Structure 1
Amino acid sequence: MTTQTLRIRRSIQELQDAYTQGNKKPLEDLMRAWKGVKELPPDDPRSFFKLGGFHGEPFRGAGWGNASYWGGYCNHGNVLFPTWHRMYLVKLEEALRGVPGCEDVTLPYWDETSEESIQKGIPWALTVKDFELDGESIPNPLRSFVFNQAIVDHIDHDKPSYSKPKGYETVRYPLSGLVGSKEDLAATRLHNKHYSDYDKNVELLNANVVNWLNSIIIVDDKPVSTHVADKYKSCLEAPNYTVFSNNSSAAQWNGERPGTEPVVPLEEPHDSIHLAVGGFDYPGATDYSPIDGANGDMGENDTAGLDPIFFFHHCNVDRVFWLWQKRQGFTDHLDIIAGYPGTNSVDGQGATPGVAPNSWLGLESPLAPFKQVEQGRERDCTSLDCINIERQLGFTYSKGSLEDPAELERMTLKAGRGTQALHVTGINRAPIRGSFLVSAFANIGGKRHHVGTRAVLSRWNVSGCANCQTHLEVQAFFGLHAFPEKLLQGATYEVEIRGRDGVLASHAKQTGPTGKRLFHLEVK
């Protein structure tokens, strides 16, 4: 397939710019397509409810009621993370193109490391309240989704935090979307009452995203980057697909190589954006007041796929995956280290429906529930079907950020070259409700500096997944290579774990609510 016949996924910023310059059709067609899939009946295989629900709730397949399986079909913490989500985007894009008059629509990406995003946050097309389409002002189809069917949290029967009624509308930071129990609903109503100004909420959301994307600290009068944009850049340097693809494999790789700069997997900055949009303040931010009690849908694995911004975020994640493939020479094949952490169906989460527990994962593993027809027969999609997006899937990406070598060099601000790294191990996620943050701080010269944060996208109730109970440990690595060696000699370090229930543990208090030790801190 030639470049001329490839459909091009452009950034949402490109569509915005064309719209404001008078070429309104591309953005209008995108809005029309999204409006169309959201209006389809919930049992229609092309409906947004059906497709969005594959990621977590409503737990289709065996996953909704079997504790041996992860709650949704999505793969996290294993080598199928990039390819499963790549195929997920393809199926959503096919549905968008199936809306009458929208046959040429492609799914745009939110270029999260562009100058516009770093300075302003989320593009306005994803947040503006209303949009004019065909001479009529309509609710912007990209800013939220109103459930056309209820979903039930089958995992936590005693407190179904992520049950959502028909008519529920997804929310983002600074709002809360917990409505599953009387207690949750009362707390959410009280919280959201303080945030009734939609435009002001968008400002707060963008301020939080900018902090996540753009943070730096000053050490020895020099800037040191700790931001998510730098993590995206760093993941392009991962040496092989196994460690690039997921957190579990990267944790093993980094643990085996003390004294070297930790590898950053693609999944790590991906998690950070989920939590930035979904409701976690950036640790160490000082220019605005943190908002506790924000529980947006993007911040939890259970409901993230039902917020439209999920697909614009993941389209960018897939674009970075393709950039890594081109940079490292893996456009036509991917290599998996056999038997490595992150290559088993119980690593990081639990087996997904259609995949046997404790089975090895590879390029031929099914990417359930996605199917394709081959020679008149339907079969499971696998990673082998989607390695080369141009040759196999018929699309490519427009040129965005992270492609210019000079730009990549500018994005990483270095103050020196230390040789140490903070290694946080033994983080027990069993008592932690939902997603959480692991933040590291260095006390240097009497000042407390934020070294970095590992965002962990998780489900609300890990105890409902039997396999998760045998894979409870989360590890975090924080490179100190940007800090001058001389300053690290007298430094002391702290770790803070923050979840939906506030600070769960710190260096001074390393046990959680159950009394169990939550982590171990080591500098090496």
Structure 2
Amino acid sequence: MTTTNTTTHVDQVVATPTYLADIRFFFRPQDVEHMAELGIELGTYDGVKENAHSIYTLTAPPGATMPPDEEGVWSAERSQTFRNWILTGFPLGTATPVEPLPNGARPTRLRKDITTLSDAEFDRLKAAFTGLMDRDPTDPKSYFTLAGQHGLPKRWCMHHQDRFNPWHRQYLLDFEDALRSVPGCEDVTIPYWDFATDLPDRLQHPPLDEYVLPADPGASATPQPVSGFFPYTTSRYSVADIAQNMTDFEVLADTATSLTQSLWGASNVNGYQDFSIQAHDSGHGSIGPTMGRQNVAAFDPVFWFFHCNLDRLWLSWQTRVGGTTVAGFRTTLGQNTGWLTPPSNVMLGTSVTADQTIESKVSYDRLDLPSPVEGAMENLSGSIDAARSFAFRSDSPVSVRVKGIDRLNIPGSFVVSLLAGGEPVAKRYFFQPDDPRNCETCVQYGIVNLDFRLRQEQILDRKLTVRIDVPGQSEEIGTAFPLSQAGNPTINARLLVGEA
């Protein structure tokens, strides 16, 4: 039987099945599509749980009436497994990593680690970047225009929400197509910088080390012009400082946690998105003054290689959880599926919709697919339905959430530090424009949270406090930002639990 994640499951009775490991694979894409037309959701945990008893009745052999085609008829073993799932309280469980697609089924556009490019490949990449940078800034396929879609003047980027990863995936494709429009560079792809390693030497020389803006990006910004970015040359921290910042902001820790999440989740809430977006924001703040300011971040050439790696990590996670197709991806969403359908699937500055980006048009020379031992999948949360059994252990991490930050009052990207006994124990960087009130996406998602995972001994018997700093704030008044002007955020601390 065909499943949503291209893996064939042999029917056998499972005594204690879970949705993510077993049940979601019982519904084929055509089953989900057919029942959706009747107003019944079979593609998500919440939908299957809500309709579980009807599903069992209609699919149970020998008198099953659904699915109507012979190929889709459930075996007695599958029916018994589904019954067991009902009797055990509809456990959600954790995802079981699946095998990646065979090489023959992969897209033909391959992106590589920038350090592994041959000299000839790297020369073509430099020629492509030089070609874009040399184009008139009014050319729609110039470097200036394309980078200006993310920050000034267009501000089309969609951060801290469900369409964050889809928007940036399409943005990379559009930029890659522009690179390919440079004569002699028709087969160029954007390589990635694996930021688990130091900034490569290849990104420290022209034309990939900096960019001198040829025009004022703020002159045509709406709803009002923005000054202070012309003349302007992009800049970065030293290689050693970037590496130290990545450590201090725990970029790699958030990345590792994101890859073990069973659910897509939501920014500011849980799941892959929450930790992926935190890693993104802190990565921007780690790299330099330009990358840390949303208004101009995409003008730094490192932006493209950094984001290419983030897309590689997202595809890695999709592959692990069986979410490389729209049908498979939906099984990780719960109730949060609206952004995949009109009108909520629209993405600023492109005719491509969010759902059309789920099935990636590119592949990578390497995906991060840790073994179950190296990175077991999880579905930890601060609460669980009372009807389900749960457990926590002495080594369970503590989730500390700085909740309810009103970012619209904060002038630019900022750092949230968590202090225990007056000593900093963790910090995160939040990436946003200098003027968030003039950003459509920022206004829509104005109240935000930041999550920290800590060992219990880091905070036990210690007073917890929070500090917000704005690196770009005037030196005359210092970088500290009053909590009272940031919505008086609260600190929520709880042990994370999972199903027993």
Normalising by the residue count of structure 1, what TM-score does the alignment of the two structures yield? Answer: 0.63
Partner of 2:128: 33
Among 332, 339, 349, the residue aligned to 1:369: 349
Give the structure, 1 or 2, with the largest relative contact order (CA under 8 Å, sep 6 or more): 1
User: Partners of 1:368 and 1:473 in 2: how far apart?
Assistant: 21
Amino acid at match of 1:498: D
Partner of 1:304: 297
Partner of 2:244: 211
Q: Which secondary structure state, in structure 1, belongs to the residue aligned with residue 275 of structure 2?
A: coil
Partner of 2:448: 474
Q: Give 1:102 deviation, angstroms.
A: 1.1
User: Partners of 1:318 and 1:454 in 2: how far apart?
Assistant: 21
Q: Give 1:155 deviation, angstroms.
A: 6.0
Partner of 2:369: 403
Asked whether the equivalents of residues 160 and 267 of structure 2 are also in contact (C-alpha less than 8 Å), the reply is no
Asked whether the equivalents of residues 49 and 306 of structure 1 are also in contact (C-alpha less than 8 Å), the reply is yes
Relative distance call for 1:211 and 1:330 in structure 2 (3 A) is: same
Partner of 2:250: 227
Write out per-residue CA displacement over residues 429-453 of structure 1, whole angstroms, 9 at most, x where no aligned residue: 233111001111223xxx8352x22
Among 448, 458, 461, the residue aligned to 2:423: 448
User: Partners of 1:143 and 1:407 in 2: how far apart?
Assistant: 39
Partner of 1:171: 235
Partner of 2:268: 251
Question: What does 1:342-491 align with in structure 2 at a 5 Å threshold?
Answer: 361-364=339-342, 365-370=345-350, 380-389=351-360, 393=361, 395-399=362-366, 402-405=368-371, 408=374, 417-418=395-396, 420-443=398-421, 448-450=423-425, 452-465=426-439, 468-469=442-443, 471-480=445-454, 482-484=455-457, 488-491=459-462
User: Partners of 2:202 and 2:441 in 1: how far apart?
Assistant: 40
Is 1:104 the counterpart of 2:187? The answer is: yes
Asked whether the equivalents of residues 109 and 312 of structure 1 are also in contact (C-alpha less than 8 Å), the reply is yes
Is 1:504 the counterpart of 2:480? The answer is: yes
Q: Give 1:162 deviation, angstroms.
A: 4.3
Q: Give 1:520 deviation, angstroms.
A: 2.0
Q: Give 1:233 deviation, angstroms.
A: 0.9
Relative distance call for 1:431 and 1:156 in structure 2 (3 A) is: farther
User: Partners of 1:465 and 1:398 in 2: how far apart?
Assistant: 36
Relative distance call for 1:383 and 1:428 in structure 2 (3 A) is: closer
Gap runs ≥5 in structure 1: 19-23, 60-71, 129-139, 174-204, 216-225, 244-248, 255-261, 279-295, 344-359, 371-379
Partner of 2:24: none
Q: Give 1:86 deviation, angstroms.
A: 0.5
User: Partners of 1:416 and 1:263 in 2: how far apart?
Assistant: 27
User: Partners of 1:251 and 1:503 in 2: how far apart?
Assistant: 24
Among 199, 213, 216, the residue aligned to 1:147: 213
Asked whether the equivalents of residues 57 and 302 of structure 1 are also in contact (C-alpha less than 8 Å), the reply is yes
User: Partners of 1:478 and 1:214 in 2: how far apart?
Assistant: 14
Q: Give 1:83 deviation, angstroms.
A: 0.8
Instruction: Select the structure of larger CA radius of gyration.
Output: 2
Asked whether the equivalents of residues 340 and 355 of structure 2 are also in contact (C-alpha less than 8 Å), the reply is no
User: Partners of 1:421 and 1:233 in 2: how far apart?
Assistant: 16
Write out per-residue CA displacement over residues 209-252 of structure 1, whole angstroms, 9 at most, x where no aligned residue: 2113335xxxxxxxxxx7211111110122223x2xxxxx2423
Partner of 1:83: 166
Q: Which secondary structure state, in structure 2, belongs to the residue aligned with residue 405 of structure 1?
A: coil
User: What's the C-alpha RMSD, in Å, of the aligned pairs?
Assistant: 3.1
Asked whether the equivalents of residues 42 and 48 of structure 1 are also in contact (C-alpha less than 8 Å), the reply is yes
Q: Give 1:461 deviation, angstroms.
A: 1.1
Amino acid at match of 1:381: V
Is 1:265 the counterpart of 2:367? The answer is: no
User: Partners of 1:271 and 1:98 in 2: how far apart?
Assistant: 31
Asked whether the equivalents of residues 368 and 381 of structure 1 are also in contact (C-alpha less than 8 Å), the reply is no
Write out per-residue CA displacement over residues 15-42 of structure 1, whole angstroms, 9 at most, x where no aligned residue: 2xx4xxxxx2111111011101111112
Question: What does 1:48-59 align with in structure 2 at a 5 Å threshold?
Answer: 48-59=143-154
Q: Give 1:337 deviation, angstroms.
A: 4.9
Write out per-residue CA displacement over residues 132-158 of structure 1, whole angstroms, 9 at most, x where no aligned residue: xxxxxxxx0111222222222646969
Partner of 1:195: none
Partner of 1:329: 322
Q: Give 1:299 deviation, angstroms.
A: 0.9
Write out per-residue CA displacement over residues 303-346 of structure 1, whole angstroms, 9 at most, x where no aligned residue: 11111111111100000010000001001113285875xx8xxx
Task: State the identity %.
Answer: 28
* Matched pairs, number: 365
Q: Give 1:108 deviation, angstroms.
A: 0.2
Q: Give 1:87 deviation, angstroms.
A: 0.7
Normalising by the residue count of structure 2, what TM-score does the alignment of the two structures yield? Answer: 0.66
Q: Give 1:523 deviation, angstroms.
A: 2.7
Q: Which secondary structure state, in structure 2, belongs to the residue aligned with residue 384 of structure 1?
A: helix
User: Partners of 1:267 and 1:32 in 2: how far apart?
Assistant: 32
Among 110, 121, 124, the residue aligned to 1:8: 110
User: Partners of 1:423 and 1:145 in 2: how far apart?
Assistant: 38
Asked whether the equivalents of residues 150 and 164 of structure 1 are also in contact (C-alpha less than 8 Å), the reply is yes
Relative distance call for 1:96 and 1:123 in structure 2 (3 A) is: same
User: Partners of 1:49 and 1:467 in 2: how far apart?
Assistant: 22
